[in-house]
Chain A
Amino acid sequence: NAGVTQTPKFQVLKTGQSMTLQCAQDMNHNSMYWYRQDPGMGLRLIYYSASEGTTDKGEVPNGYNVSRLNKREFSLRLESAAPSQTSVYFCASSEEREGGTRRNQPQHFGDGTRLSIL
């Protein structure tokens, strides 16, 4: 019963380093999302992918890139990490898709990646 799996769970980087956060879901969901959560705040959407092969910017995309590798996997890349990107990153997936009958479906979240940038 894996659901949404994120790796790694913890990471410490130095300013300027790059890394990729991995996310995979086993629910055959169409949509996938990347959020960040800063202390005492709600989640903010970084990027999302409505279907395999498509990606779109969310609320806070600057400094990040994403790849929807296939239907299961959606990765988030930090090309040159900055201390302001220290946060907890959550990946989510949903059956939701535009059009049709799957328009209002819940999102299911992974347990997060805790990223510190020194």
Chain B
Amino acid sequence: DAKTTQPPSMDCAEGRAANLPCNHSTISGNEYVYWYRQIHSQGPQYIIHGLKNNETNEMASLIITEDRKSSTLILPHATLRDTAVYYCIVRVGPARGNMLTFGGGTRLMVKP
């Protein structure tokens, strides 16, 4: 699975949009981009995933560049409860043991 690069930390003001970038320049054609988050002491929570088209659900939007080498997770109106570590993962499932490889992630701090 392709590796990803994320900034280690970001701040966001409550009520504003949080834009979390992810670089995956070695992504292959059949690999999906997944986003998960982990709030302190809880299990990882699935947010959204996509292949090449932009995706939106009730939690967030996922913008994937045309060359698929990077993506941005957008939380449109961040709240204090969105403070968490956000993981960008690139994988093709269900090959190779269905592993989700969690890197360092981005620690998002939403401030009042």
A-side interface size class = 20 to 34
Whether a CB of chain B sits under 8 angstroms from the CB of A53 is no
Q: Is B99 part of the binding interface, using a Cβ–Cβ cutoff of 8 Å?
A: yes
Closest to B101 in A: A42
Given A50-B94, A96-B93: A58 touches B44 (CB 8 Å cut-off): no
Chain B, interface size category, equals 20 to 34
Q: How far is the CA of A5 from the CA of B1 in the complex (A)?
A: 29
CB-based nearest B residue for A49:
B98
Of the candidates B32, B41, B98, B102, the one having the most CB atoms from chain A within 10 angstroms of its own CB is: B98
Min Cβ gap A35→B in Å is 8
Given contacts A43-B44, A90-B43, A112-B43, contact A104 B99 (CB under 8 A): no
Taken together as a complex, chains A and B put the C-alpha atoms of A97 and B49 apart, in Å, by 17
A104 to B93, CA, bound (A): 5
In the bound complex, residues from chain A placing their C-beta under 8 Å from that of B53 are none
Do A31 and B98 have beta carbons less than 8 Å apart? Answer: yes
Q: Does B103 contact A (CB under 8 A)?
A: yes
The answer on a CB contact under 8 Å between A112 and B42 is yes
In the assembled complex, how far is the CB of residue A112 from the closest CB belonging to chain B, in whole angstroms? Answer: 5
* A42→B102 contact, CB < 8 A: yes
**B41, B92, B99, B104, most chain A CB atoms within 10 A:** B99
- CB B60 to nearest CB in A, in angstroms, measures 13
Contacting B at CB under 8 A, from A38-53, are: 42-43, 45, 48, 50
Contact A108 to B98, CB < 8 A, known contacts A96-B93, A103-B93: no
Asked, given contacts A105-B93, A106-B46, whether A42 binds B103 with beta carbons under 8 Å apart, the answer is yes
B112 contacts chain A at the CB level, 8 A cutoff:
no
A104 touching B92 by the CB < 8 A rule? yes
Given known pairs A104-B49, A104-B92, A106-B49, the reply for A45 and B43 (CB within 8 Å) is: no
Residues of A within 8 A of B (CB): 4, 31, 33, 35, 42-43, 45, 48, 50, 56-59, 90, 92, 94, 96-98, 103-112
Provide a sorted-by-A list of 11 A–B residue pairs whose CB atoms are within 8 angstroms.
A42-B104, A45-B97, A56-B97, A59-B99, A92-B44, A94-B98, A96-B93, A103-B93, A104-B93, A110-B43, A111-B43
